[in-house]
Chains A and B, each alone.
Chain A
Amino acid sequence: MAAEEHGEGLTFHPMDQFIVQPLFGDGAVGVFTITNSTLWLAVTVIAAALLFVMGTRGRAIVPTRIQSIAELAYGFIHKMVEDVAGRDALKFFPYIFTLFIFIVFSNFLGLLPKAFTPTSHIAVTAILAMGVFLTVTFVGFYIHGMKFLGLFWVASAPLALRPVLALIEVISYFVRPVSHSIRLAGNMMAGHAVIKVFAAFAPLILISGIGIAVTPLSIIAITAMYGLEILVAFIQAYVFTILTCVYLKDALHPAH
């Protein structure tokens, strides 16, 4: 519809890059169809495996560059889990590490031109966030039993306020997976869409005289947004992981 308004030739399709389509043929997207999403999920897994399996193959005491990147990521997440969620959360370290590596690789690979970003889809991030939510809830009830519900009962507040606070706590607890997933998907989607919008302005120089001013501006804007996206790609993975750690801490140590 945006294209119709700019009938002169500028085409705005900022959301087209997110379309999930079959990689082979033009059929519908069934459950087992190999789509562009599937391809980039596979690329993500292969890239992570290359870094963490091939890169550390040497087991060198003095690490090679690739091995030191792998060790850096290991140390970063290990320290985060230990600092934020506590030592007893280290059981979940492989799970959290998998989440972080999956998101960070997916985000960065999605920044390649023509690439598809699985993490820009709510379906993907919702599954990630629901996984975290269910894990955390299950762990909380498994370890503390019914005492886990004390998480919602703020014992330090005045008695009259406690039911209200409990209601707020329950709501905020159940909003967690929503905000957790939409934050990641929304960030990735927004950045890519904004880049596409600026990109749509770039060919204006071929159409009208005002393009002399607009085209360089839009190219500069694309470059700036791309830089910001690189930052966002990492920060969102970091935020997703650290929030997972925070939720896990709530499950392991529910006392306020």
Chain B
Amino acid sequence: MEGDIVQMGAYIGAGLACMGMGGAAVGVGNVAGNFLSGALRNPSAAAGQTATLFIGIAFAEALGIFSFLVALLLMFAV
């Protein structure tokens, strides 16, 4: 019984942790959207900034990956 409650808590926690992915999605969309609006204003400067774009996306996405990892840990490792 007690194990079941722990498991339930773990699953609820995993579901809650998945909300972090939404934050990462917002972050990545923000980075890409701002890049696009900047690139449309000054297309000649856009090509040189793609590396920065990917770095920004990577950083924003890493946090979503962390929350995904927390969810996986709760699901499978706790």
B partners with A: yes
CB of A220 closer than 8 Å to a CB of B = no
Contact B62 A246 (CB under 8 A): no
Task: Please name all residues of chain B whose beta carbon is closer than 8 Å to the beta carbon of A246 when the two chains form the complex.
Answer: 55
Report the interface size for chain B: residues with CB under 8 A from the other chain.
14
Contact B62 A84 (CB under 8 A): no
Q: How far is the CB of A91 from chain B (nearest CB, A)?
A: 20
Task: Please name all residues of chain B whose beta carbon is closer than 8 Å to the beta carbon of A68 when the two chains form the complex.
Answer: none
Contact B54 A186 (CB under 8 A): no
A238's partner among B54, B62, B72 (CB-CB below 8 A) is B54
CB of A115 closer than 8 Å to a CB of B = no
- Measured in the bound complex, the distance between the Cα atoms of B11 and A69 in whole Å is 46
A190's partner among B55, B59, B68 (CB-CB below 8 A) is B68
Given A182-B66, A182-B69, A186-B68, A80:B61 Cβ within 8 A = no
- Measured in the bound complex, the distance between the Cα atoms of B45 and A132 in whole Å is 30
Q: How far is the CB of A51 from chain B (nearest CB, A)?
A: 24
B76's partner among A15, A80, A182 (CB-CB below 8 A) is A15
Contact B55 A239 (CB under 8 A): yes
Chain A contacts with B in 31-83, Cβ cutoff 8 A: 80, 83
CB of B1 closer than 8 Å to a CB of A = no
Task: Please name all residues of chain A whose beta carbon is closer than 8 Å to the beta carbon of B68 when the two chains form the complex.
Answer: 186, 190
Contact A183 B61 (CB under 8 A): yes
Chain B contacts with A in 10-63, Cβ cutoff 8 A: 51, 54-55, 57-59, 61-62
In addition to A80-B51, A182-B69, A183-B58, 6 A-B residue pairs with Cβ atoms within 8 Å of each other are A182-B66, A183-B62, A183-B65, A190-B65, A239-B57, A239-B58
